[in-house]
Chain A
Amino acid sequence: MKEYRFRIIIILAAIALSIYLLYPTYLDYQNNKHIQSVVEQKKQEILKQNPQISKSDLEELLTIVEDSIKQSDPSIVENRLKRLKLGLDLQGGMRVVLEVNTAKLLEKLANNPDQVFNSTLAEAKKEAETSDESVVEIIARKLQQKGIRLSRYFGTVRQDDAEIIAQLKKDSEDAVTRAMEIIRNRVDQYGVSEPSIQRQGSRRIIVELPGIAKEEEAKQLLQGTALLEFRLVKDPDFTYQIMERIDKALAKVLAAGNDSLLAELSDTTKKADTTAAADTTQKQLTEEEFRQQHPFFSVALLDPQGRSADAFVKEDDRNKIQRWLSLPEVKKEIPDNVEFVFSAKPVSTTQDGKKVYFMYLVNRQPELTGGVVTNAVATLDPNSSAPIVNMEMNSEGAVEWARITGANIGKRIAIMLDGKVFSAPVVRGKIPGGRSQIEGMENLDEAKLLEIVLKAGALPAPVDVIEERIVGPSLGEDSVQGGLNSALFGYLAVAVFMIIYYRQSGSIAAAVLILTILFILSVLAGFKATLTLPGIAGIVLTIGMAVDANVLIFERMREELATGKTLKASIDSGFSKAMSAIIDSNITTFFTGIILYQFGTGPVQGFALTLMIGIASTLFSALVISRLIFDYLASKGAKISIG
């Protein structure tokens, strides 16, 4: 027994680790079932109470229900993050590849474009369709051929062609960054869970939105230019007054029980927070009473020491607040010319990892919109070395800006993109000439983000959809079912064959194969990789290939037994002599897996990954686990039949 201890420990550790890695996936599956049943139940209730409810209202209510369940138990979100993720082809969703339309960008950037420029651009556009050269390079070449300097259309006269080309290339890369930020901002608002927005090369963006039911609407997200606005933030006293009035109105609504769903919702959160309430018993009001009397302030928290009335709101509460604000009783209390808006990025996180956003009260009417911004640059202030953003406006905007800043010294102006606040700096003084300096960023990254946001208004990023793939949820479900069936029946077929052909040895191989599959899945979950349909195919293929190693070993053992060796000796030489063939053949397959991973995209990469992980697990299972079982049984003097 002693000689096996080390190997047993390793194997048990591997199995324990696998189960640990896959456990969240199991929990997440259970949680989802639970959430779905609760949501479905709520849906029926709402429909019974109010059969005329509009579809979007219903959806909104159900989202709030979902949020509140998630909020009541932080482990739901935690498990969700750790689970084995399904690819778009399995859970449904949309994948879009966007490419910056350089030609359109050049058209926008060009100063005084004339007939020559337009026709050259059209030629360049055509050529770029079939060439690897970028539009910038082609147009530069064409203009040079015609003996026209690039500075005729771009940049300044002092710059030479090479400089301008470099600048134009940078501009087209910047356009990608802007487009990404705009899309990210919109996707956040749309509430897609786990979106992925990646940059590919210098001109492309890959957007993956899993589980989107309303593809048509999602496509709209990617179109159109973003709206940049400068809006006045209301002063704290005014904001606080409004909030108090909302709070009172809400308390009344909830007490009257007119909106039973919302009343229930505050119930569910209450239950969840009983632990939190327990530590705050010293307070005059218990948490529960506070919730009933001040529903609004229980989710929109104010900093008593703070000089502003920016409320802290947890991410899951944003939907709820929006719902409350849309109730007619509450709406009455808010003047028509103002509205509540949220910050685009979280300002902090709570102890349990929830993101917290600011909520501002701003004017509905913007003071200025983004078309006036001509440039923005993030940099470090040479005096204080604090990050700042220098913003420039055109002459029209500058005049307005001088008036606005002059009239609002000491007040704050929110810089908003598509309805979200990115920054709300205080006006220090009247700014003539349109050159402003924005301070107060935590770090240079934040300043860079603001630069992008400001430029998004200045120069919209023209993007084209060059590839789009949409998989509906029903097809995804069918694929999962097909994949699972294939894996199950594939396993059964292989296992039955192995048992018939190799008897007890075959049974050992079949049992170890289950562990191999367990390892593959857990490694995928552990690496936060995504399981795709080709990935499942990779697993099924691995089931077929995994026993190959066993076959090689068993055939060797048969040969050795045939020469008259003892079982123990046959096991030893069977394993050691089959080793080189097993390693050689698996390494070559592994190599092709690496190449496939490098060249492939999306689902195919998923296949390559499962293939490679499959090979590694197979080797471990066949050479370590099976070996141990054989050695152990042989040392006990057991007879192992090998057919």
Chain B
Amino acid sequence: MRIFHNLNVNWMGMRKTFYIVSLVLFLIGMLNVVFRGLVFGIDFKGGSEIVLQFEKPVDVAKIRNDLANIGLGAVEVRTFGAETGILVRTELQEIPKEIYPKVVERIRENINKIMPGVPYQIVDSTINSITVEFTNPDTTNTMIAELFAQGFQTGKVSEELDNKQMLVRVGIADWIKEVLREKVKDNPFQVVKEDRVGPKIGEELKRDAVLAVLLSLVVILIYLGFRFKFIFAVGAVTALFHDVLITVGLYAVLYGVIPGLNLEIDLPVVAAFLTLVGYSINDTVIVFDRIRENMKIHKTMPLEELINKSINQTMSRTIITGFTTLLAVFVLFILGGDVLRAFSFTLLFGIIIGTYSSIFVASALVLDYAQKAKKKVQFS
């Protein structure tokens, strides 16, 4: 079986059209990035996220309602995996100041329920935890155990035998769990996944991610500059920028449009972008490699014709290599589960764009440069 056998298409003649297509795609993407913004996952934004597995199917709308007025602002609630799974996410890492007294009040209520009238005082309260002191160590230990059994995260302040202080953590996730335990009584749940990322870590990760993508582009530029002439490396890397930016744009365009497809930029997605950079250069290299070879054979052929010939000759392998990879990535997209969905989507779309750009953008840029410079382009 053969496809694209003996092609004879004047690709370079159409390059103006493709420039326009690319430019339009790029502009649509960038406008969306500017006006709708990109949605970062909690890896970068910081925040809290919990996934709960209920025993019976659960109504997302009801949960959303239950969590709407607990003072955490916009809480995102969606199904996770099957219909018994719920993902709750908030950008907050810490309980907001207004809610804090409520949380403390609830702890007080519970303490009073366990041992009515027990004397205690709150000795310290930070944003993450409060410290309660009781009058003797035994009360403290009982209280720690009892509250813990009710789902509070309690612990001793110190292991000293005469420790009278109890630490109660009041994280966002704890608060959400606490509220749901109260409101959804007939349907017990388990925590399947719980993530909390501090704001500082998020910033660090974001910086690292951008650095990583830029660094990989520079490394590729250097490597290709070394293997081919510098102008080819510039053409290839421009094409890569094109791929990455259009894919990023697509993220902004599609976010929230397709139900069930959760396009947030998290760590695996950055990994996908980097892989994309590494992979999409492959097709470009194949075309360049062929141009270099043809230059040696057809010494007098004009560059435009030479590039056309090379693209036509390599078209079938460009398409097929892209296709086999797409096949695997597509399977991953379908079967890989919720966690890998955005990752495989990035690759899926990126590979298509990458294949397109290696034919129509990278080579075309080289041609235009050569015609402007009015000198004979040389490889290696």
Residues of A within 8 A of B (CB): 89, 97, 129, 215-216, 219-220, 223-227, 366, 369, 371, 418, 460, 464-472, 474-475, 478-479, 482-483, 485-486, 489-491, 493-494, 497-498, 500-501, 533-534, 537, 540-541, 543-545, 547-548, 551-552, 555, 558-559, 577, 580-581, 584-593, 595-596, 598-601, 603-604, 607-608, 611, 643
- Extra contacts, 10 of them, besides A493-B328, A537-B344 (Cβ < 8 A), are A224-B157, A224-B167, A465-B196, A491-B328, A541-B347, A544-B329, A555-B320, A592-B275, A596-B275, A598-B212
CB distance A490 to B155 under 8 Å?
Answer: no
- Chain B residue numbers with a CB within 8 Å of A543 are 328
Q: State how many angstroms separate the Cβ of A210 from the closest Cβ of chain B.
A: 15
CB distance A472 to B267 under 8 Å?
Answer: no
CB distance A607 to B160 under 8 Å?
Answer: no
Q: Which residues of B168-225 are within 8 A (CB) of A?
A: 169, 190-201, 205, 208-209, 211-212, 215-216, 219-220, 223-224
CB distance A493 to B282 under 8 Å?
Answer: no
B156 at interface by CB-CB < 8 Å: yes
Determine, out of B25-33, B63-71, B333-341, B369-377, the stretch whose residues face the partner at the interface: B333-341
How far, in angstroms, from A584 to B205 measured CA to CA in the complex?
A: 30
Q: Which residues of B65-89 are within 8 A (CB) of A?
A: 81
Q: Which residue of A lies closest to B236 (CB)?
A: A588
List 12 A–B pairs whose Cβ atoms lie within 8 Å, in order of A's numbering.
A220-B153, A227-B161, A467-B198, A471-B193, A472-B191, A482-B336, A493-B330, A541-B325, A586-B282, A589-B281, A591-B219, A599-B209
Q: Which of A418, A497, A544 has the most CB of B within 10 A?
A: A544
CB distance A468 to B196 under 8 Å?
Answer: yes
A468-B195, A471-B193 given; A460·B316 CB < 8 A:
no
- Chain B residue numbers with a CB within 8 Å of A224 are 155-159, 167
A537-B340, A589-B275 given; A501·B160 CB < 8 A:
no
How far, in angstroms, from A220 to B158 measured CA to CA in the complex?
A: 11
Residue-wise, chain B 119-152 has the 8 Å CB interface mask toward A (1 for contact) of 0000000001000000000000000000010000
CB distance B200 to A588 under 8 Å?
Answer: no
How far, in angstroms, from A591 to B326 measured CA to CA in the complex?
A: 21
Residue-wise, chain B 96-115 has the 8 Å CB interface mask toward A (1 for contact) of 00000000000000000000
CB distance A472 to B193 under 8 Å?
Answer: yes
A418-B159, A585-B286, A607-B268 given; A493·B331 CB < 8 A:
yes
- Chain A residue numbers with a CB within 8 Å of B212 are 595-596, 598-600
**7 cross-chain pairs, A with B, having the tightest CB-CB distances, nearest first:** A544-B328, A227-B159, A592-B278, A585-B282, A589-B278, A544-B325, A482-B337
How far, in angstroms, from A460 to B271 measured CA to CA in the complex?
A: 39
How far, in angstroms, from A580 to B324 measured CA to CA in the complex?
A: 21
- Chain A residue numbers with a CB within 8 Å of B361 are none
Q: State how many angstroms separate the Cβ of A95 from the closest Cβ of chain B.
A: 9
Q: State how many angstroms separate the Cβ of B53 from the closest Cβ of chain A.
A: 7
Dominant SS among interface residues on chain A: helix
- Chain B residue numbers with a CB within 8 Å of A601 are 205, 267
CB distance A215 to B191 under 8 Å?
Answer: yes
B56 at interface by CB-CB < 8 Å: no
CB distance A225 to B158 under 8 Å?
Answer: yes
- Chain A residue numbers with a CB within 8 Å of B227 are 584
CB distance A591 to B278 under 8 Å?
Answer: yes
* One of B153, B157, B200, B324 near A547 (C-beta < 8 A): B324
- Chain A residue numbers with a CB within 8 Å of B334 are 486
Q: Which residue of B lies closest to A466 (CB)?
A: B198
- Chain A residue numbers with a CB within 8 Å of B230 are none
How far, in angstroms, from A192 to B169 measured CA to CA in the complex?
A: 23
Q: State how many angstroms separate the Cβ of B2 from the closest Cβ of chain A.
A: 7
Q: State how many angstroms separate the Cβ of A557 from the closest Cβ of chain B.
A: 11
CB distance A89 to B327 under 8 Å?
Answer: no
- Chain A residue numbers with a CB within 8 Å of B153 are 216, 219-220
CB distance A501 to B336 under 8 Å?
Answer: no
How far, in angstroms, from A418 to B278 measured CA to CA in the complex?
A: 50
How far, in angstroms, from A76 to B219 measured CA to CA in the complex?
A: 45
Q: State how many angstroms separate the Cβ of A87 from the closest Cβ of chain B.
A: 12
Q: State how many angstroms separate the Cβ of B371 from the closest Cβ of chain A.
A: 26
- Chain A residue numbers with a CB within 8 Å of B296 are none
* One of B200, B205, B336 near A483 (C-beta < 8 A): B336
* One of A466, A485, A533 near B200 (C-beta < 8 A): A466
Q: Which residue of B lies closest to A417 (CB)?
A: B159
Q: State how many angstroms separate the Cβ of B18 from the closest Cβ of chain A.
A: 22
- Chain A residue numbers with a CB within 8 Å of B279 are 545, 589
Q: Which of B156, B340, B347 has the most CB of A within 10 A?
A: B340
- Chain A residue numbers with a CB within 8 Å of B167 are 223-224
- Chain B residue numbers with a CB within 8 Å of A611 are 275
How far, in angstroms, from A233 to B82 measured CA to CA in the complex?
A: 57
B1 at interface by CB-CB < 8 Å: yes
How far, in angstroms, from A587 to B289 measured CA to CA in the complex?
A: 14
- Chain B residue numbers with a CB within 8 Å of A598 are 212
- Chain A residue numbers with a CB within 8 Å of B343 are 534, 537
B317 at interface by CB-CB < 8 Å: yes
* One of A491, A587, A643 near B2 (C-beta < 8 A): A643
CB distance B332 to A541 under 8 Å?
Answer: yes
Q: Which residue of B lies closest to A216 (CB)?
A: B153
How far, in angstroms, from A474 to B159 measured CA to CA in the complex?
A: 33
- Chain A residue numbers with a CB within 8 Å of B274 are 592, 595-596
B17 at interface by CB-CB < 8 Å: no
How far, in angstroms, from A475 to B200 measured CA to CA in the complex?
A: 28
- Chain A residue numbers with a CB within 8 Å of B198 are 466-467
Q: Which residue of A lies closest to B316 (CB)?
A: A555
B38 at interface by CB-CB < 8 Å: no
How far, in angstroms, from A302 to B208 measured CA to CA in the complex?
A: 56
Q: State how many angstroms separate the Cβ of B51 from the closest Cβ of chain A.
A: 7
* One of A467, A558, A643 near B201 (C-beta < 8 A): A467
CB distance B324 to A581 under 8 Å?
Answer: no
